[in-house]
């Protein structure tokens, strides 16, 4: 048995004992393999077209509510940087997690999109980092951190300065703590959504932090050299509840 990493956003693992020699279905962000055609690429991707709770969304007219704080309990652990052909992803198998409303979600990985997949009142940011978490019961929670152009980000330098070539991974030397990547303020938008990459699975709990962090123009350029555009277009809200913390 071996595991194949399916989605940039999901860290969903599918055992593929028999299909080990078959390459994974080809999808991308442009042309005939682009987001409008993901459902045609593989029968397992039908939710990308049929789902009613898809991500990303344009965040507007959110309803203020007493949302629970996201209790971040990240720590230093081993890290592996993977360029999976859709994004650059940092796997963090032992770096803690988050708790929301008493549910603990272990951090699995974070990865990048450019421009940001989420829009806020119609506006995109140069990049976004998605922190993907999973509960013991198997449910997913993603925390999105928006990246705007500004000062060089030392916390991300270790990743953005040494991005591996496509299809390769490299382990970061020492340990890596994702805590300094987070913005100071932790107010957020909340909604139910999906993975933003095939198979677009739903029932993902989304938290988009309101405060962006800064990265330098050079850091954005370094990522765009590998991935000039890897953002799915925004999807219809379809009557979903969109909430916003009061802070």
Closest to Zn ion by CB, 169 or 247: 169
Q: Is position 86 annotated as part of the catalytic site?
A: yes
Stretch that binds Zn ion, among 51-59, 125-133, 165-173, 233-241 (CB under 5 A): 125-133
Torsions phi, psi for 133 (to 5 deg): -130, 155
Closest to Zn ion by CB, 61 or 182: 182
Closest to Zn ion by CB, 20 or 129: 129
Query: Quick one: which of 80, 185, 19 has its CA closest to 6?
Result: 19
CB of 134 to Zn ion, least distance (A): 14
Stretch that binds Zn ion, among 8-16, 46-54, 62-70, 220-228 (CB under 5 A): 8-16
CB of 89 to Zn ion, least distance (A): 9
CB of 8 to Zn ion, least distance (A): 5
Query: Footprint of Zn ion on residues 145-184 (CB under 5 A)?
Result: none
In the set 26, 33, 86, 170, the catalytic residue is 86
Number of residues in contact with Zn ion under rule CB under 5 A: 2
Q: Lay out the site mask for Zn ion across 62-91 (x = CB under 5 A, - = otherwise).
A: ------------------------------
Among the listed residues 86, 130, 134, 205, the single contact to Zn ion using CB under 5 A:
130
Closest to Zn ion by CB, 9 or 62: 9
Query: Quick one: which of 214, 215, 213, 208 has its CA closest to 187?
Result: 208
Stretch that binds Zn ion, among 6-14, 34-42, 44-52, 172-180 (CB under 5 A): 6-14
Stretch that binds Zn ion, among 48-56, 127-135, 173-181, 226-234 (CB under 5 A): 127-135
Could you give the CA distance from residue 115 to residue 196 in angstroms, rounded to a whole number? 13
Closest to Zn ion by CB, 9 or 145: 9
Could you give the CA distance from residue 150 to residue 155 in angstroms, rounded to a whole number? 14
Is residue 9 a contact residue for Zn ion (CB under 5 A)?
yes
How big is the CA angle at 116 (ends 61 and 103), to the nearest 5 degrees? 70
Q: Which sequence positions are flagged as catalytic?
A: 86
* Footprint of Zn ion (CB under 5 A): 9, 130
């Amino acid at each position: 048995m071996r595991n194949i990493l399916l989605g940039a956003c999901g860290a969903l693992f599918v055992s593929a004992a028999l299909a080990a020699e078959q390459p994974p279905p080809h999808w991308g962000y442009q042309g005939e393999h682009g987001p409008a055609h993901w459902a045609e690429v593989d029968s397992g991707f039908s939710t990308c077209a049929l789902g009613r709770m898809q991500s990303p969304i344009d965040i507007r007219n959110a309803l203020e509510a007493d949302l629970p704080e996201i209790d971040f309990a990240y720590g230093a652990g081993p890290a592996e940087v993977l360029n999976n052909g859709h994004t650059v992803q940092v796997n963090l198998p032992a770096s803690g997690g988050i708790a929301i409303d008493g549910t603990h979600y272990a951090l699995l990985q974070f990865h990048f999109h450019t421009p940001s997949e989420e829009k806020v009142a119609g506006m995109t940011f140069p990049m976004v980092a998605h922190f993907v978490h999973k509960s013991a019961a198997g449910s997913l929670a993603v925390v999105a951190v928006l990246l705007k152009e500004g000062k060089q980000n030392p916390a991300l330098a270790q990743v953005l300065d040494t991005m591996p070539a496509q299809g390769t991974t490299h382990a970061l030397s020492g340990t890596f703590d994702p805590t300094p990547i987070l913005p100071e303020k932790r107010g957020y938008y909340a909604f139910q959504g999906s993975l933003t990459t095939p198979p677009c699975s739903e029932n993902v709990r989304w938290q988009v932090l309101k405060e962006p962090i800064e990265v330098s123009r050079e850091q954005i350029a370094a990522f765009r050299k590998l991935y000039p555009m890897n953002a799915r277009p925004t999807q219809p809200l379809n009557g979903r509840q969109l909430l916003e913390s009061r802070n």
